[in-house]
Amino acid sequence: MNTFFDMGGYGSYVWPAWVLAIIVLAALTVVSLRTMRARERELSKLESDSPRRWRRDLDGGDK
């Protein structure tokens, strides 16, 4: 197992590369999902307390 983590002496380059990639992509995923949920929640709140007629106007009547 130690030889696996040692990576033939290159462990200090191989592991940071992968860890960094995983952190960047995980952070992007979390931020994207959180933003989407927050905005969709806010939108449905706004839509539920604005009259139906306004929304129809916004959609250009194509709904």
Partner 1 sequence: MLLHRYANPTRFLRLANAVLPWATGLTAILIVAGLYFAFAASPPDYQQGQTVRIMYVHVPSAWSAMFCYAFIAVASAVGLIWKHPIAHVLAISAAPIGACFTLICLATGSLWGKPMWGTWWVWDARLTSVLILFFLYLGFIALANAFDDAGRGEKAAAILALVGAVNLPIIKFSVDWWNTLHQPASLTKIGMPSIHPSMLTPLLLMAVGFTTMFVSLLIVRTRSEIAERRIRALRAARIHREAAAGADD
Residue 7 to residues 12, 15, 17, 18, 23, Cα–Cα distance (Å): 8, 9, 13, 13, 21
Contact 15, 7 (CB under 8 A): yes
Q: Which one of 1, 52, 61, 63 is in contact with partner 1 (CB under 8 A)?
A: 63
Site string for partner 1, 4-43 (x = CB under 8 A): x--xxxxx-xx-xxx-xx--xx--xx--xx-xx--xx-xx
- SS3 at position 38: helix
Task: List contacts with partner 1 (CB under 8 A).
Answer: 4, 7-11, 13-14, 16-18, 20-21, 24-25, 28-29, 32-33, 35-36, 39-40, 42-43, 46-47, 50, 54-55, 57-59, 62-63
